[in-house]
Structure 1
Amino acid sequence: MTDYLTIGSFPVKMVWLAILGSALIAYGILFVKIRKEPDKKQLLDVLSNAIGIFLLVWKFSYAILHPLLIIKHPTSILYFNGGETGIVLGIIGSILYILVAASKRELDKSRVFYIGILGLTLYFAAYYGAHFASTTLLADGLVSLFFSILSLYLYTKGSFEIRKTVLSMLVTALFFSVLTNSPLSGQKTSKEAVEAASYGIKKGDRAPNFELKTIEGETVKLSDLNGKVVFVNLWATWCPPCRAEMPEMVRFYRDHSSKKVEILAVNLTDSDSEKEVKKFAQSYKLNFPVLLDPDGKVGNTYKTVTIPTTFIINKKGIIEQKHIGPMSYDMMEEFYKNAQ
């Protein structure tokens, strides 16, 4: 699936459009399924609130997991979330809410969980179907097919007892576990594909080389870093999301500096100030190379419109990922793992 849809100069992540579209499809089918039920409104209200609680807990769990960072950099909460741990906390919060809300409204818990599981399977069927349609990746097609069959079964079977609902959840979890650890979970870049890759700024292209000075006056050349995973981060001191991601990048670099990974923070100095960059680097205690791009050559080469923008380059100099917006520690971990 294409990473971004650009509307004017504003980039919209395609994954969020896929999430929204899939959620609307699932909601529409659920509405049809229970349209004649006398407690339809209560069921949909409970499940909608549960989704809202999940999103809130997932988003703001970052403050629970990293309280010191939030105290030092409060704006971080605007850009980051609790990652995988936040997802688990969000699921727990949603389940607890459903149990309490179902009891207060005197709803049958089995029916509430049944409708919830049906909604999730419909959502995943649509979401991975959209991925499969845009990428033709076999793993996405298999996931979508699995959830489509499970959705049809749940839709036609009717209300489950809780134990059957839980069983369907366990089967789903097992399926995902097997799939994500199988060869179908991803495709490695072949040596031939790497050698044939042309220079460019799209995923799969060979990253354009550049040579810049650091704020200490040392020369850094991108091509000299072959053999390392390189994060080329384009930023400016006046950019709020750039400021928010810097503590996350410092943490990541501190934990991974002994590994074959490098961060090149390329400051767009043609729209910034070298003096401000040096003050910023000292204030945020940046522990990775900060490069100056006074003529905007690298910014132009990498066609940087929105900042921060980060290119993740693998050990052979091939662009594995382009990310627009601030990065969290967990995101960098995932990018690093995928670029190995």
Structure 2
Amino acid sequence: MVVTVALALSACDAGGSGGGTGTGGAAGADGVAVVPAGERVLPRALAGRTLEGRPLDIADRKGQVVVINVWGSWCPPCIAEAPHFVEVAKETEGKGVAFVGIDTRDPDRIPALAFQKDLGLPYPSLYDPTGKLILDGFPKGTLNPQTLPSTIFLDREGRIAARALRAIGADGLREVITPLLAEK
């Protein structure tokens, strides 16, 4: 029981270090690293097929604040944070915010589709069973692909503006999204 509780309270970490953002930001006490506007970088191509098999390119969401949540159906903290993402995605719908998931290390789509359905995710998730999209899509140092859940926030220009390498709640999401929406 103690092991289950400890795992549920920590990130699903398969090794590796959270480290810095690699883009000039420093993690705050809440675990969210915010990158100053002048130090932000663009991710590489973040495109592929959703869990349902439809094409999705995150670059198509330029002009919006994009919240990218990296999750796995087998990850207890991913399951625990999902209701917060659902809540904030619904309350920011139509307000210039786009949510996208990246399901990783699920070798079969069936548990990932069940995760998405059971938790009511109102946004699409790219399917990345090997983690290749994550490794190729983010510049070195911006995202530790072994740490789940992880969340990357892109500003309206599509640049990496913040990241959280742990589960994040609704208030934490709002604290990052609100100033990004206010940027011109």
TM class by shorter chain equals: 0.7 to 0.9
- The correspondence of residues 16-31 of structure 1 with structure 2, limited to 5 A, is 16=29
Assess, with a 3 A threshold, how the Cα gap between structure 1 residues 338 and 326 changes in structure 2: closer, same or farther: same
Matched, 1:329 2:153: no
C-alpha displacement of 1:294: 3.1
Paired positions, count? 151
Aligned to 1:27: none
The AA in structure 1 aligned to 2:58 is L
Contact 2:73 2:106 in 1 (8 A): no
Question: 1:212 and 1:225 mapped to 2: Cα distance?
Answer: 14
User: Could you list the per-position Cα deviations for residues 38-90 of structure 1 after superposition, in whole angstroms to 9, with x for gaps in the alignment?
Assistant: xxxxxxxxxxxxxxxxxxxxxxxxxxxxxxxxxxxxxxxxxxxxxxxxxxxxx
**Could you say which structure has the higher helix fraction?**
1
C-alpha displacement of 1:277: 0.6
Aligned to 2:149: 308
Question: 2:27 and 2:117 mapped to 1: Cα distance?
Answer: 36
The AA in structure 1 aligned to 2:129 is P
Contact 1:213 1:219 in 2 (8 A): yes
Matched, 1:9 2:16: yes
Question: 1:252 and 1:226 mapped to 2: Cα distance?
Answer: 19
Aligned to 1:219: 55
Question: 2:27 and 2:158 mapped to 1: Cα distance?
Answer: 26
Question: 1:10 and 1:250 mapped to 2: Cα distance?
Answer: 28
User: Could you list the per-position Cα deviations for residues 201-241 of structure 1 after superposition, in whole angstroms to 9, with x for gaps in the alignment?
Assistant: xx611122221211222211011110010111111011111
Contact 1:236 1:272 in 2 (8 A): no
Matched, 1:290 2:125: yes
Contact 2:36 2:161 in 1 (8 A): no
The AA in structure 1 aligned to 2:41 is D
When Rg is computed on C-alpha atoms for both structures, the one with the higher figure is 1
Assess, with a 3 A threshold, how the Cα gap between structure 1 residues 209 and 256 changes in structure 2: closer, same or farther: same
Contact 1:235 1:265 in 2 (8 A): yes
Out of 230, 234, 257, which is 2:93 matched to?
Answer: 257
The AA in structure 1 aligned to 2:154 is I
The AA in structure 2 aligned to 1:330 is D
C-alpha displacement of 1:188: 7.2
Normalising to structure 2: TM-score of the pair? 0.73
Assess, with a 3 A threshold, how the Cα gap between structure 1 residues 279 and 319 changes in structure 2: closer, same or farther: same
The AA in structure 2 aligned to 1:328 is G
C-alpha displacement of 1:298: 1.6
Structure with higher RCO (Cα < 8 A, 6+ apart): 2
Contact 1:241 1:326 in 2 (8 A): yes
Question: 1:276 and 1:255 mapped to 2: Cα distance?
Answer: 27
**Could you say which structure has the higher strand fraction?**
2
Question: 1:243 and 1:272 mapped to 2: Cα distance?
Answer: 18
Question: 1:283 and 1:271 mapped to 2: Cα distance?
Answer: 16
Aligned to 1:239: 75
Contact 2:71 2:78 in 1 (8 A): yes
Question: 1:9 and 1:295 mapped to 2: Cα distance?
Answer: 17
Question: 1:293 and 1:339 mapped to 2: Cα distance?
Answer: 27
Assess, with a 3 A threshold, how the Cα gap between structure 1 residues 286 and 271 changes in structure 2: closer, same or farther: closer
> What is the aligned-residue RMSD (CA, Å)?
2.4
The AA in structure 2 aligned to 1:306 is T
What's the secondary structure of 2:147's corresponding residue? coil
C-alpha displacement of 1:330: 0.8
> How many percent identity over aligned positions?
24
C-alpha displacement of 1:280: 1.2
Contact 2:81 2:169 in 1 (8 A): yes
C-alpha displacement of 1:322: 1.2
- The correspondence of residues 179-190 of structure 1 with structure 2, limited to 5 A, is 189=37
Contact 1:237 1:277 in 2 (8 A): yes
User: Could you list the per-position Cα deviations for residues 163-221 of structure 1 after superposition, in whole angstroms to 9, with x for gaps in the alignment?
Assistant: xxxxxxxxxxxxxxxxxxxxxxxx973xxx5xxxxxxxxx6111222212112222110
Question: 1:335 and 1:272 mapped to 2: Cα distance?
Answer: 32
